[in-house]
Amino acid sequence: MPRPPEAAPWCAWSAPPDRARPPPAGCRQLSGACVVRQHRAAPDHNATEDCIMATADCTARREREDRTIARALRILEKRVRYDAARPELTNPNAVRDYLRLRLDGLEREEFWCIWLDARNRPIKAECMFVGTLTQTSVYPREVVRRALHLNAAAVIVAHNHPSGDSDPSIADETMTRGLKQALSLVDVRLLDHFIIGKPARPTSLAERGLM
């Protein structure tokens, strides 16, 4: 007796004879059989190595920038001391540059004081208060207390605006006048109040006549 013809082979992607459906993409039909070619992608070792090298380069560049900023701050501190050793601060641009490097790019507002002696020589530069994204609470009583502790005769204050706008707000003007009045009660002069924002030149309230 003759043998019946064998059914055409089918793969997992092909349908049985009673439910025929077209083969998917990448599968071609040959003599009733579905031939599937699968290509397994080899891991891209070069891409991984490039990513690691790029991360290392970014970290190294950030470390070099941090060292450069630290050196610039030391130079500006020396320049401020040199200029302040004279009877008056003859180079306020050095103070501006120092404060801009200290306060530019911060995510929160900070209020800084540069304390000066009777000859306008700097005693100490320090952050007095740290606030939020939009405001800083400044307490004149604490500023006066610190001035007496350091035996300061004058002070230059500054704070930053993380938004980048260096124009003084009404609250800034009110706080400056209140702080100046409180310091005058103990014979400490408030020389200026700088606001640091996106512009390269910090805003001086003294130059605008807002002191």
Domain spanning 48-204: CATH superfamily: Cytidine Deaminase, domain 2 (3.40.140.10)
The model's confidence at residue 86, banded by pLDDT at 50, 70 and 90, is very low
The model's confidence at residue 201, banded by pLDDT at 50, 70 and 90, is confident
Of residues 99 and 129, more confidence is placed in 129
The pLDDT, as a whole number, for residue 97 is 85
Q: Which of 3-17, 107-121, 193-207 shows the lowest per-residue confidence on average (mean pLDDT)?
A: 3-17
Q: How far apart are CA 183 and CA 194, in angstroms?
A: 17
Q: How far apart are CA 20 and CA 13, in angstroms?
A: 11
Q: Which of 64-68, 132-136, 181-185 shows the lowest per-residue confidence on average (mean pLDDT)?
A: 64-68
Condensed to tens digits (0 to 9), the pLDDT of residues 18-47 reads 555 555 555 454 444 444 444 445 555 566
Q: How far apart are CA 147 and CA 154, in angstroms?
A: 8
DSSP letter string, 83-142: HHTSSS---HHHHHHHHHHHHTT-SS-EEEEEEE-TTS-EEEEEEEEE--SS-----HHH
Q: Taking all residues of the chain, what is their mean pLDDT, rounded to a whole number? A: 78
* Single-letter amino acid code for the residue at 154: A
Q: How far apart are CA 95 and CA 83, in angstroms?
A: 9
Q: 15: helix, coil or strand?
A: coil
Tell me if the pTM is above 0.85: no
Task: State yes or no: pLDDT of 162 exceeds 90.
Answer: yes
